[in-house]
Structure 1
């Protein structure tokens, strides 16, 4: 089942790279990544530090799956790795559900650039991450 861990690690690495790219001035995909209230509004960009922080968290998530696949060893306790492997898919499942306004399956604002990208890209991506994360826990940890 290292394939599941490898896919998750690669996905989180790519997402982290995108956040670092945006933090250091990259523009590609940025308009689709920032929620807005209406079509004519520009999204408020988060600061560089918060964007870098999100990138680091995504790298941490990827490293959890590297460790679970035994690709790397770590001094981090096994219980932190196991707890994290439950928390990560839960977080992404919550992201799929959304905030009932701008993001997720139950969003009210649906006609913005972000909302359309959320429906086409982010909800499926977060669903994919959540399902693979849960499969990792169920199949690998219990079978």
Structure 2
């Protein structure tokens, strides 16, 4: 059995930010991978905030043809502070995908998101720029 990190690729989707405007995650190229988990962490949501997430896909590199993926939408309640929402896409039909955070335009929410691609055609894989990873196999107890 190998370490999980040798079989997945971790890519930042959205840097942490708080605001009222909708946000599109980074465009993710799925070539060479079977699936992706889109992990969105919400911090503080304003009282009364109407927020949701969904996944989109397209064939154009810049997502000029982006379309919502059926049934990927998840509602985020105003009291879902510090909760994690996951969309798992297996074998998306188009090459490029992204996360979309829909906000109501008047109530601030704070969130960040990460893509975890899996089912690599050619493992081991390298993580995206901005990801620091340490690998430890059977570490002894002691000073970290």
TM-score normalised by the chain length of structure 1: 0.25
- Point out the structure with the larger helix share: 1
Higher relative contact order (CA 8 A, sep 6+): 2
TM-score (norm 2): 0.25
